[in-house]
Amino acid sequence: MPNETRNGTHNVIHGRGGKLEVILVAASAARRAELRDALASPAAVSAEFSSLASLLENTQIASGVIVFDLPGRKSHEVQNRELENLEALLENPALSAVALIENAERTPIVALLKFGSIAMIASDASTDQLEAAILGAAAGLVMVDQEIASHIAGQLPHEFPDIRQSVEELTRRELEVLRLLARGFGNRDIAARLGISEHTAKFHISSILSKLAVSSRTEAVTEGLRRGLILL
């Protein structure tokens, strides 16, 4: 069983020799071998799977950082299934993820952001970038590399309306709740993190949705990113 050491409020999972436990997910054995060779340190590959679906079916994997390919050539239907599998996996707080993005323009970046404890880097990232992403995800951070961050910035409007009044409408507590939503926290986790009741957390979320004029948590996170209320 791996040992867990706490870093802030997040678990950093270590295996034998103090290395991070990594689960590789890629369709081909050659690709998994390529990733394995790139991770001599500080990560230890503890398991390998051909898909997120097969990982989800395995009940023996309880912790670690999932490093998986998300090729842009896959259809939206296939990508949506992959996202559903990833969301189910990351309901376990001892798991985090690094998504290897082949094509940012064909990847649902915002949907990935809402899961929290996830890093997104290019599929051809260097070993140093891959290791940094693994460490960041294990520490509970949301990370994106420069190329993907540029893509996100390119989707923002070139001219921003005056939103100072609408920004001021969110209270300090609501901003805290919104940023936790962006990291993938549920109502119970938000309540525990902020020392409030679950009912109060639900009230804040309802207020955020109303003030941002959106109908879902995902839309709230997207709008928060657009307005600069959430920093990547």
Q: Where are the beta strands (DSSP E) in 62-163?
A: 64-70, 95-101, 118-122, 143-144
Tokens of 218: 């995902």
- Fold (topology level) of 3-154: Rossmann fold (3.40.50)
Residue spans of the domains in the chain: they are: 3-154, 164-227
Over residues 83-122, the pLDDT tens digits come to 888 888 988 889 999 999 887 777 777 778 777 778 889 8
**Cα angle, residue 176 at apex, residues 174 and 179 outer, rounded to 5°:** 110
Check whether domain 164-227 has CATH 2.60.120.260, yes or no? no
Lowest mean pLDDT across 23-27, 164-168, 197-201? 164-168
Return left, alpha or beta for 180; rule: phi > 0 is left, psi -120 to 50 is alpha, else beta: alpha
Q: Which of 13-27, 130-144, 151-165 shows the highest mean pLDDT?
A: 130-144
Is the four-CA dihedral 114, 115, 121, 126 of positive or negative sign?
Answer: positive
Taking residues 27-40, report their average pLDDT: 87
Proportion of the chain above pLDDT 90, given as a percent: 23
Backbone angles phi, psi at 70, to 5 degrees: -130, 80
pLDDT at 54 exceeding the cut of 50: yes
